[in-house]
Amino acid sequence: MNHEFDAIRRLFQQRVPFTHQTTTVHNGDDASVHDIPEGFEMVISTDTAVQAIHWPVDMPLNIAGARAVNAALSDLAAMGAMPAWIWLAISAKDKQSLAQMSDGIVQTCLAHNIELAGGDTTRSATNAINVTVGGLIPKGSAMTRTSAKRDDEIWLLGELGLSAAGLKQWQSGDINGKFVPHFQTIKPQLKQGIQLRELGVQCCLDVSDGLLQDTGHLCHGSNLSFEIEVTKLQTLQSYQQLPPLFGEEKSLEMMLNGGEDYALLFTAKPSLHSKLLNIGAHHIGQCVSGDSVHLKNKGQIIDYTMNGFDHFA
């Protein structure tokens, strides 16, 4: 028996029995086949996580596996899609590493009722996980980065800076620090993304590389200027938690540039204001004419360095 295929069956296929109703050819064939229901579109995104780049070398690999899948699923949340399938390409140093990563991956698939539709494994000098996620969305309703309109309000659903604070504590050796769980555990806002889409939100992304950097993606995609008000960010629960340990200046830096928050950043018509407040979203700014990101403090533009994550900096 081929040991690789036996490991795939034992570690993945047999442990994730769920299959999506639209799948007509399942995991185990050369490729999976899916029937897209009438009136729907398929949403697909690919994400990669590499040890020592996306997670510390001393992080348990089951946690790393769960983080990789949840980070990829957050892209579906940003589009307002209903998650359905994942495909994996896993590079592992050895059998033990593969088994440990599979534990977190399987746990996440089961938690979200997502089909593991296929994938591949290979031995490598570095542990890495490539995740492709697929979902369904009513035709023409996907939230995109290019759909903001002038006079839209800018909103945030989620918190900022807590993951960056957890990483800082982990790197300092405080692996039991207060904020470490926020770094270890990614929670894709799948239900919230669907809720926003159903409310009529058209422009959205998930904050993965830092609020300012990701706001820039919306700004350039929609050909508008985005004005974010610091005093509104200071009403977030995360701002209340961070300063006692890190001070106000460092806390604001982590909120603006920290990354891996996986909050949903979106714009909406002013007519949706009260509905968005009712679901726990935070109004943080305004879309205006222009082509850049501005940070304001009580209405006055302030200088601030955009320093989000860049793989090739």
Residue-wise pLDDT tens digits, 276-300: 999 999 999 999 999 999 999 998 9
72-105 burial, b for 16+ CB within 10 Å, e for fewer?
bbbbbbbbbbbbbbbbbbbbbeeeebbebbbbbb
Q: In this prediction, what percent of the chain has a pLDDT beyond 70?
A: 93
The CA-based diameter of the chain, rounded to the nearest angstrom, is 69
User: 172-214: per-residue pLDDT in tens?
Assistant: 999 999 999 999 999 999 999 999 999 999 999 999 999 999 9
pLDDT band at 27 (very low <50, low <70, confident <90, very high): confident
Confidence (pTM): 0.93
Q: Where are the domains of the chain?
A: 3-138, 153-302
**pLDDT of 23 above 50:** yes
Task: Give pLDDT tens digits for 51-78.
Answer: 999 999 999 999 999 999 999 999 999 9
Confidence of residue 10 (pLDDT cuts 50, 70, 90): low
Say if strands 293-297 and 225-229 run parallel, antiparallel, or are unpaired: parallel
How many residues belong to the chain? 313
> Do the Cβ atoms of 145 and 84 come closer than 8 Å?
no
pLDDT computed for residue 312 by the predictor: 43
223 pLDDT above the threshold of 90: yes
Write down the pLDDT at residue 28.
Answer: 79
Domains 3-138 and 153-302 agree in fold:
no
- For 244-281, letters b (16+ CB in 10 Å) and e give eebeeebbbbbbbbbbbbbbbbbbbeeebeeebeeeeb
Amino acid 1: pLDDT: 45
**Number of Cβ within a 10 Å radius of residue 118:** 22
What average pLDDT does range 101-121 have in this prediction?
Answer: 94
pLDDT value at position 310? Answer: 57
As a whole number, the mean pLDDT across the chain is 93
pLDDT band at 16 (very low <50, low <70, confident <90, very high): confident
Architecture of the domain made up of 3-138: 2-Layer Sandwich (3.30)
Q: Within a 10 A sphere around the Cβ of 240, how many other Cβ atoms?
A: 11
170, 180 Cβ separation under 8 angstroms: yes
Q: Does domain 153-302 have CATH number 3.90.650.10?
A: yes
Report how far apart the first and last C-alpha atoms of the chain are (Å, whole number).
46
Closest C-alpha to 107, from 67, 142, 158: 67
Q: How confident is the model at residue 19 (pLDDT cuts 50, 70, 90)?
A: confident
Cβ burial, residue 50 (10 Å; 0-12/13-18/19+): middle
